[in-house]
Amino acid sequence: MIIIDGKSTAEKIKSKLKMEVERIKKNGVCIKLVVVLVGEDYASQKYVASKEKACLEVGIESEVYRLRETTTEEELIELIQKLNRDDAVTGILVQLPLPKQIREIEIMKKMDPQKDVDGFHPENVGLLHLGMPYMIPCTPLGIVHLLEEYQIQIEGKNCVILGRSNIVGKPMASLLIGKNGTVTVCHSKTKNLEEVTREADILIAAIGKPRFVKKEMVRQDAVLIDVGINKNEEGKTCGDVDFEDCSQKASHISKVPGGVGPMTIVTLLENCVEIAKRSV
């Protein structure tokens, strides 16, 4: 059994990005990422701090707008439109989730799709599903990078995704189909779930249920990618996969923390650099 190490893979990508950023800056192009954080969500604040640190490491300028929990949809849209017009801003990221009074889809629709580093604007979603992506959502892209780093073949493999979110499940399916995987997306209404997951060569868990995936759901020598970030009974961070249980059967398995998380952050930087390169 091989543990898929997202932290070391992310560090490799960061090293390449740092050189790329230096090259772009020499051509007179500034790279700036703006993150908008609404409210006091603890997990979101941690993510944003990690993104700030990662930007600093590779030489990308970053700025964070921290807005109060009671911010209205109209106020947030006004800020987004201001950032859209600002030529000094390379990429914009609105940290999700947003407070209940703000409709996420309306915010995504107002963002300039060419500054959308998360790939959530409807135009970018459509381009991804057509197989001609402009910007790919960070977590699915990070997972593909991990599979490539560990030389795990996607073409012709049965790929099962647990979860159909717009952030992970759906774009993940599009990416795997684009790489000739045979893809099944499972959700809360899926019947005979264990039978489906036992057919997976590659099983990607993104449902937000701590230690949901047990070894009985896993075929021998399957590849397990754990996207979940949860708290267990002791208050410690854990994933959607029961690591100790499933590692007995997996050929490759990612841990939480240290697996997909670092890859999500580094692919955000990668997307920002890609946008900047298009203006060189």
Q: What H or E segment, with its residue span, contains residue 230?
A: strand 230-231
Contact criterion met (CB below 8 Å) for 23 and 52: no
CA distance linking residue 124 with residue 107, whole number of Å: 14
Tokens found for residue 250: 């997996």
CA distance linking residue 156 with residue 182, whole number of Å: 6
Catalytic residue, chosen from 14, 16, 46, 51, is 51
Q: Is residue 153 among the annotated active site residues?
A: no
CA distance linking residue 135 with residue 125, whole number of Å: 8
Q: Is residue 242 among the annotated active site residues?
A: no
Catalytic residue, chosen from 12, 53, 87, 95, is 95
Pairing mode, strands 230-231 and 237-238: antiparallel
Tokens found for residue 240: 């959607």
Q: Which amino acid is at 2?
A: I
Torsion sign across C-alpha atoms 102, 108, 111, 116: positive
Catalytic residue, chosen from 115, 116, 118, 242, is 118
Tokens found for residue 120: 């959530």
Contact criterion met (CB below 8 Å) for 169 and 161: yes
Alpha helices in 162-235 (DSSP H): 169-178, 193-197
3-state SS assignment for residue 92: strand
Contact criterion met (CB below 8 Å) for 72 and 100: no
Q: What H or E segment, with its residue span, contains residue 149?
A: helix 138-149
Q: Is residue 16 among the annotated active site residues?
A: no
* Residues with active-site annotation: 51, 95, 118
